[in-house]
Amino acid sequence: MRVLIVDDEPLALDYMERLLGAVDDIVIIARCRSGREALAELQRQSVDLMFLDIQMPGLNGLDVVKRCQSDVMPAVVFATAYDEYAVRAFEANAVDYLLKPFESERVIEAVARAKDRLLSVALQSGKEAAVAAIAGLEGGSELLAGDVQERPARLPIKDGPHTHLVELETIDWIDAAGDYMCVHAGNQTYILRSTMKELEKKLSSQFVRIHRSTIVNLHKVRSVDAIPKGECLLHLDDEVSLKVSRNYRSAVQDLMG
């Protein structure tokens, strides 16, 4: 996986490079100290994943994402000391959001999430070579999800002074990024500060864990495809495709007959 690191602080660049150096199948192709440098680098060479700071002089990280052309847009992980940008980051389709100071485990988790995102995109676009390459990078193991009991029909999600009461039946899927949960319901994405275990306690039995960082509403699944390594891909109404890791495959076995 070809990785670009962007941060205006040299020490932060050094730290991220050191952490990524311990992750398998990672090649750091460049380091940039500004948003403009990052945009130029993205035009110059192919990038799979970009670790991107938000607060930088000139163009900030969110500006970089807005100005990046879609055909060169890599998976993006924001790495910042400011938690107030989380909602905007996930609205910009970020893979993950790392709050400084972070440890190596969070970087490894972010890389794994990026691989899953790239695999999903490659499968949807029919790029067989990319699917094979990304699938070959998959690794790690996940704990089996516990039983989920029946819960209330609505999920409260605070948004400043306002609280959204989201009907559970409208939720398509949920993905986790550290201490943040992205709750996808129709055309809306709500950001909830919670752990995966805490959230699972609030959901009904139609929601199952399919990955260490993903929960899906089984009522929203429309088709299932088998993919390499004993995993499978769930297709939802809105053309979203979610990977089921092999250690969670039993959770969706009934869907596969």
At 178 the pLDDT is: 77
Domain boundaries, position 102: 2-135
Sheet holding 241-244, edge to edge: 221-227, 231-236, 241-244
Asked, for residue 142, whether it belongs to a domain, the answer is: no
Minimum mean pLDDT range among 77-81, 117-121, 137-141, 209-213: 137-141
Asked, for residue 143, whether it belongs to a domain, the answer is: no
Asked, for residue 148, whether it belongs to a domain, the answer is: no
Mean pLDDT score, 73-77? 90
At 257 the pLDDT is: 57
Which band of pLDDT confidence, cut at 50, 70 and 90, is reported for residue 131?
Answer: very low
Residues 103 and 181 in one domain: no
At 7 the pLDDT is: 96
Q: Residue 38: pLDDT above 90?
A: yes
Tell me the residue type at 250: S
Give the domain-ending residue among 74, 108, 135.
135
Q: Which helix (H) or strand (E) holds 10?
A: helix 10-21
Mean pLDDT of the chain: 82
**Residue listed under structure tokens 């429309």:** 222
Q: Which helix (H) or strand (E) holds 179?
A: none
Asked, for residue 246, whether it belongs to a domain, the answer is: yes
Asked, for residue 146, whether it belongs to a domain, the answer is: no
Mean pLDDT score, 26-38? 94
Which band of pLDDT confidence, cut at 50, 70 and 90, is reported for residue 126?
Answer: low
Q: Residue 20: pLDDT above 90?
A: yes
CA 241/CA 52 separation, integer angstroms: 25
Residues 198 and 89 in one domain: no
Residues 66 and 127 in one domain: yes
How many structural domains is the chain composed of?
A: 2
Residues 162 and 94 in one domain: no
Residues 185 and 112 in one domain: no
Asked, for residue 145, whether it belongs to a domain, the answer is: no
Give the domain-ending residue among 85, 107, 135.
135
At 139 the pLDDT is: 41
Give the best-scoring range by mean pLDDT among 143-147, 154-158, 162-166, 167-171: 167-171
Q: State both tokens at 142.
A: 């996940």
Mean pLDDT score, 241-249? 85
Could you read off the pLDDT of 40-70 as tens digits, one per residue?
Answer: 999 889 999 999 999 999 899 999 998 887 6
Strand locations in the chain (E)? 2-6, 27-32, 49-52, 75-80, 96-99, 154-159, 162-167, 173-177, 180-185, 188-193, 207-211, 214-217, 221-227, 231-236, 241-244
Q: Residue 151: pLDDT above 60?
A: no
Residues 68 and 30 in one domain: yes
CA 93/CA 230 separation, integer angstroms: 28
Asked, for residue 113, whether it belongs to a domain, the answer is: yes
> Can you say how many angstroms the Cα of residue 74 is from the centroid of all Cα atoms in its chain?
13
CATH of the domain at 122: 3.40.50.2300
Residues 177 and 230 in one domain: yes
Residues 184 and 86 in one domain: no
Could you read off the pLDDT of 224-242 as tens digits, one per residue?
Answer: 888 877 788 888 976 788 8
Asked, for residue 141, whether it belongs to a domain, the answer is: no
Percent of the chain with pLDDT over 70: 84
Q: State both tokens at 229.
A: 């390594």
Give the domain-ending residue among 135, 170, 186.
135
Residues 158 and 121 in one domain: no
